[in-house]
Amino acid sequence: MISGLFDSATPYNGQKYSHLKKECVSQGRLFEDPEFPPNSKSLFYSQRAPSYIQWKRPGDIVADPKFFDEGASADDFSQGSLGNCWFVAACSCIAEDKKLLKKIVPDMEEQEWSKDNKYAGIFHFRFWQLGEWVDVVIDDYLPVDNSGNLVYVQSKAKNEFWSALLEKAYAKLFGDYESLKGGQAKDAMVDMTGGVGEGFELADVCKSDEDKNKLFKILKKSKEHHSLISASIRATSQHDMEAKMSCGLVKGHAYSVTAVKNIRLGKGLMSYFNREKIHMMRCRNPWGGTEWKGAWSDGSVEWQQVSSSEKKDMGLTFDEDGDFWMTYEDFLCYFTSMDICHMLNTSFISLSKSYREGKALGEWKRGKCGGCSNYPSFLQNPQYKFDVDDAEVEVMISLEQWDGRINRDKGRDNETIGFCVMKTDRNRKYRMHDTLEKVQTTSYSNSRNQFVRLTLTEGRYCIIPTTFEPNVQCKFLLRVYGNSDPSLKELYLDEPPPPDSGIFGIGGKKPKVAATQITVIRAEGLEVQDRDGFSDPYVVIFCEKKKERTRIIKNNINPEWNERMTFYHRKPHEDIDVEIWNYNKIRDELLGAFVIPMSDRTRYSSAHHIQKFDLFGKGKESSMKKPGCLWLKILHTKDMDKI
């Protein structure tokens, strides 16, 4: 058995594999699944099944059925008559990775046909569904044609059935086989790994040579981390779907990308001294034999430029198996879109690059689903804050909705979703009621997943996941990845809760009756403290024993922060202290200070008031003028809905 996380997979529809198999063995019968019976309803939701389709168990199809024949490989997945190349391409990516395979095929040895395993016509597989692993039980009745051949996915070895059984379990998850028609490879890859899906149009991300090189590095690094990659060529019409091009590629068809490499050119000693390398991609067609016919195709003259040792390292073969190499340039010339399932290392103890993950399971609810920013109800959507602790870092954000294909029989599908990332207060703890600087707004689509990479500076940010239109009911999973813990948390409350009066009804605190919002805009003409002729300033604000600070800006005496902080008051008449410091490794130095007089707070109450403050010393030197000034924007209010 697989230990750890996957032992706790939830039985789908309450069907527990071990209990059902034990029951069948004790009664001497083969399992027949009442939740997914061998009939037309398990095949189609919109049409009647063709009369030639029958259901047979593997033992009635071949004399010696096997779960695996010489292990799992990409050859085990050849697409049948169902338009689910997206699923087949994903399976091909996973088949040869033993670690990933164990996630979806538990009890591998026990599921093999043998007397010792007490075959009972029952099998099970595991899939990741919105943050949870579910265990799907099936019987082994499979759809076949008049000749007794499998109608859908089949292995190159006619007596191997694990791929056909896996497809059946996936079809059960979504109601029927027809629901697997059409999809995105990244969704299937995520369902079988729990990874993070990213999809993009190549024309949008490869507008320059710099873009192309950046993408190649991402793809190469992704493969090194055992991520899964698929690619396809857009079909411009229904007639174009799965149409074969003169170059051997097929439109509207999902290919798995099995390798991304820099290939060294030259033979013998020249290959060691030759610095010329070429970017290469290895792809696989789920159909099998149909391959690329251009440069660097199987047996082409271009391979004469590569040494035998280099070919061996590449595992190069020229079999008619659907595998082929092509240059990265040709790949970009023909393929139009790509899907990546990132396998991100989140282990705290690791020698390789690791990420810190923040995740939250949420739900859009009717009445609390505000729609996109076109609607005034936008801020009624769920809100999540996360932190960036580094000066500048890449952050990856993924929004995954509940897969709507299970509702296709009801005429529904995925919702149109997206999300907005905006800068928020450094100390934001409650829901936002106004919008600050928008860092990124995704496009809206009915794709199951939305993904972005952002380079962010130190600070606190707010993610607002939304449907395009308001009043939609749907579950979602939000995940954030960065170098440090993003501390992802949902903002539930609109304002500080009323004070607790205590268990015994005594000693309650005075409620917070007002709030002051302070935006640190910029400073001018600060005192030079460092030998390089600059300073490394940051601002600290003190309000009712609360202390908040901005990020440090290196080498600047005229820094711009544009960072906001919100303070909730019990004593709104108390003054607010502001200090500017110069950061040093050993001891920070004061650059100046001043007081915001709250006795005159009414001047800040009508609107955001922008004011310049001169800098002074502190303590005994509080009357001493210091170089420079600080610009602040201030709003003081008793209306918590304004902030």
Active site residues: 85, 253, 285
Q: Is 243 left (phi over 0), alpha (psi -120 to 50) or beta?
A: beta
Check if the beta carbon of residue 493 is closer than 8 Å to that of residue 539: no
**DSSP strands (E only) in 508-641:** 514-524, 537-543, 546-549, 560-569, 576-582, 589-596, 609-616, 625-637
Paired tokens of 528:
């030079």
Q: Phi and psi of 399, rounded to 5°?
A: -120, 120
Question: What is the Cα–Cα distance from 297 to 23, expressed in whole angstroms?
Answer: 53
Question: Cα 485 to the chain's mean position, in Å?
Answer: 16
Check if the beta carbon of residue 216 is closer than 8 Å to that of residue 224: no
Question: What is the Cα–Cα distance from 286 to 302, expressed in whole angstroms?
Answer: 25
3-state secondary structure of 188: helix
Q: Phi and psi of 331, rounded to 5°?
A: -60, -45
Question: What is the Cα–Cα distance from 111 to 116, expressed in whole angstroms?
Answer: 10
Rg (CA), the chain: 30
175: Cβ–Cβ under 8 A, 6 or more apart, which residues?
Answer: 45, 405, 406, 408, 409
Question: What is the Cα–Cα distance from 125 to 102, expressed in whole angstroms?
Answer: 10
Question: What is the Cα–Cα distance from 89 to 254, expressed in whole angstroms?
Answer: 6
Question: What is the Cα–Cα distance from 396 to 463, expressed in whole angstroms?
Answer: 12
Question: What is the Cα–Cα distance from 444 to 595, expressed in whole angstroms?
Answer: 46
Check if the beta carbon of residue 141 is closer than 8 Å to that of residue 134: no
Angle at CA of residue 97, ends 96 and 102, nearest 5° = 115
User: Among all chains, which residue has been given the structure tokens 């729990």?
Assistant: 194
Q: Phi and psi of 91, rounded to 5°?
A: -65, -40
Q: Phi and psi of 525, rounded to 5°?
A: 60, 40
